[in-house]
Amino acid sequence: MEIAGKLPANALTTTNYGICATLNRKIVVKAPDWGYVPSIRVSREELKRNYTPRLQGDIPAIVMEFLCDTEAGEYSNKPTYPPGKWFYYEQVLQVPNYVIFEPDTGVIEAYRLDDSGRYQLEPPDANNRYWIDQMSLFLGIWQGTRENRTGYWLRWWDQQGELLLWGSELVIQEQQRAEQERQRAEQERQRAEQLAAQLRAAGIEPEG
């Protein structure tokens, strides 16, 4: 997932990155498939492959888990050590947004922490997207091909409903823009040549 151009300089995005906390004097580490931390208070060099909320910066604004075939650990509310993912994100870290995504079917479940500190399933909007307030972005499903994989992908949209493009898409877009400009210049050249030919046929020598 890319959100290029939408990240503050001190924000942190994580992919299978250890998120640490202490529970009953024991260190717990969970590595969500993706996460977003609005602000860190330490240098990035200090964050090797793990991050400790509150100590090193903000609590993640959102974590995402992709469903696996083996076990439904994403829904585990086990409070004892080692705690389940659901319990860890909801009760220990209190992450405001928890997203569970099934890549094969494109099913997305977005949960938001309510005032009582419990996750509640959020309904999508009319465009089947979810507003993530802490990021000022919409999250939704996009179907297409990327990196030789055709299927469902999680994508971001801005407040105006514009899809945030991946780096590869930006390159293609720029290539298309350059090709359109080349074609426009070629059409202008051909029109100028035709006009010059018409003037000469009328006995007028074109200027320049």
- Per-residue CA distances from 93 to 40, 62, 157, 181 (Å): 15, 11, 27, 51
103 shares its domain with 37: yes
| Unique residue bearing structure tokens 């006009």 | 195
Sign of CA dihedral 94, 95, 96, 101: negative
Question: Does residue 2 lie within any of the structural domains?
Answer: no
| Unique residue bearing structure tokens 């659901």 | 86
131 shares its domain with 159: yes
State the pLDDT at residue 157: 95
149 shares its domain with 55: yes
159 shares its domain with 173: no
Question: Does residue 1 lie within any of the structural domains?
Answer: no
Alpha-carbon distance 87 to 193, whole Å? 73
Question: Does residue 191 lie within any of the structural domains?
Answer: yes
How buried is 123 (Cβ within 10 angstroms: 0-12 exposed, 13-18 middle, 19+ buried)?
exposed
113 shares its domain with 28: yes
**Number of domains observed in the structure of the chain:** 2
| Cβ 144 vs Cβ 150: under 8 Å | yes
Question: Does residue 86 lie within any of the structural domains?
Answer: yes
- Per-residue CA distances from 156 to 1, 104, 129 (Å): 8, 19, 9
pLDDT, block means (10 residues), the chain with 208 residues: 70 92 94 95 88 96 87 87 96 98 95 97 96 95 88 94 76 67 80 83 79
Closest CA to 142 of 110, 166, 120, 178: 166
State the pLDDT at residue 3: 61
State the pLDDT at residue 1: 54
For 58, the domain range is 12-164
Question: Does residue 105 lie within any of the structural domains?
Answer: yes
State the pLDDT at residue 26: 95
Summarised one tens digit per residue, pLDDT across range 76-135 is: 999 999 999 999 999 999 999 999 999 999 999 999 999 999 999 999 999 999 999 999
Q: What are the start-end ranges of the H helices in the chain? A: 85-87, 167-201
Cis peptide before 82 (omega within 30 of 0): yes
172 shares its domain with 145: no
Question: Does residue 3 lie within any of the structural domains?
Answer: no
Question: Does residue 49 lie within any of the structural domains?
Answer: yes
**For position 64, which CATH number holds?**
3.90.1570
State the pLDDT at residue 190: 85
97 shares its domain with 198: no
